[in-house]
Structures are given as C-alpha cells and as structure tokens.
Amino acid sequence: MDAEYERRQLRRIERWFEVTDPRLAATLAGPGAPVRTANRRSVRFAVDAAGLTLVVAGTAVALPLVFFGCLLLMTGACLHTTCRRR
C-alpha cells in the first residue's frame, strides 16, 4: 500500500513539473545526467599524476608534500570509483 501511494505521489509531482517547467521535465526524463567535468577521464588522470608527483617530490624535498600527494591520490581513487562506465 505504501509503495503504491508513493508511486502515485511521484507521478503527481512529475505531472506538475511537466506543466510548470517542461524543459526541466524533459531534462530529467532524458537518457541520463550530463557528464560532470570533475569526472572526465583527463581530469582523473591529471589528479593521479599530480598526486604521484607530489609524493615523489615530497620524499626528496619536504615531508608535507607527501601528505598532500596522498590526499590527491585518494581524491583520484574516489573519482575513478564513482565514474560511470559507458
């Protein structure tokens, strides 16, 4: 019973969007979300390269660079895991 009520409410909201903002309704009903810039392949690999560079430079120059390099590598790992496969 709850699921059916929620489906009716959702359909009512969708109809409201279609009436009040058809362009938004068309965007939401489209094939998928647009690709975000932060999750493009080139950005992910640039973050990886910068993190690796900071880790290597940090071992030679200053230890705090290693910490920031590790943060960048973790950020890159998060971006790699959250990317959508096409």
The verdict on 42 and 75 lying in the same domain is yes
Domains identified in the chain, total number: 2
The verdict on 50 and 66 lying in the same domain is yes
The verdict on 51 and 9 lying in the same domain is no
The verdict on 24 and 44 lying in the same domain is no
Task: Give the pLDDT score at 36.
Answer: 59
Task: Give the global pTM.
Answer: 0.53
Average pLDDT over residues 2-9: 87
The verdict on 27 and 52 lying in the same domain is no
The verdict on 50 and 21 lying in the same domain is no
User: SS3 for 52?
Assistant: helix
The verdict on 71 and 43 lying in the same domain is yes
Output the six-digit token pair for 16: 């409201």
Residues 49-78: pLDDT tens digits?
A: 999 999 999 998 888 899 999 999 999 999
Sign of the CA dihedral running 51, 53, 59, 62: negative
Task: Give the pLDDT score at 34.
Answer: 57
Residue with the two structure tokens 């071992």: 59
Domain limits for position 56: 36-86
Residues 17-51: pLDDT tens digits?
A: 888 888 877 777 766 555 556 568 888 889 999 99
